[in-house]
Amino acid sequence: MITGPLAGQMLADMGADVIKIERPDGGDPFRTFRDGEVSPYFQAYNRNKRSVAADLHTDVGKLICRRLIESADVFIENFRPGVMAKLGLGAAEMRALNPRLVYCSISGFGSFGPYRDRPAYDAVAQALSGLSALFLDQNSQITGPTIADNLTGIYACYGILSALYEREQTGAGRVLEVNMLDSAVAFMPDAFASYSLGGAVPGPSRACKPRSPMR
């Protein structure tokens, strides 16, 4: 509800024509989350987009998706690994339709490893990466903005822009994989460097931030 939509919104903010595919039975769950018919949560991550309703479990819905893919520059999907392939809409199938397509898959833990099939939300990625341990002690509860979700959307957009630039040079598209755990870890290299190189265990009472005198 955040990572894929944020990546698309950032591209839309830069001028891309973004078409959001939503379920016919109410659309994105964020549309009616807590507030009204179009919630602030939905608006926060979906501005500047057009929407189309399509059930990707049906032949008609899959046809709509494939028709859009034929002329698209980028396709962003935000499911667990293998879900789109089971629907016949995986990277291999879509890039066979459009070899110039940049196909971006966003998941919780990537396409391999022991956690590949697990779903993930922001708090899960924050906890497993160690990010939350930099802010909280063991008796605290995670609060505040969705850091891991937002980081993943930003890194996805960053990768998509790089792939589009590469395509200008080569003429070929690319498959990108971005996941929440890697994104959260990549955001705090100083914490890992401090531990692996200096043995310092980072935490809320031992910040990795450098200190400078007041001026």
Query: Which residue out of 28, 122, 149, 182 is catalytically annotated?
Result: 149
Give the type of residue at 140: S
| Contact between residue 27 and residue 42 where contact means Cβ atoms under 8 Å apart | no
Q: Which two tokens stand for residue 73?
A: 């520059």
Cβ neighbour number for residue 128 with a 10 Å cutoff: 18
Q: What is the 3-state secondary structure (H, E, C) of 31-86?
A: HHCCCCCCCHHHHHHHCCEEEEECCCCCHHHHHHHHHHHHCCCEEEECCCCCHHHH
> Is 182 an active-site residue?
no
Give the type of residue at 183: S
How many residues are listed for the chain in this entry?
215
Listed residue (91, 128, 123) closest to 106, CA to CA: 91
Residues with catalytic annotation? Answer: 149
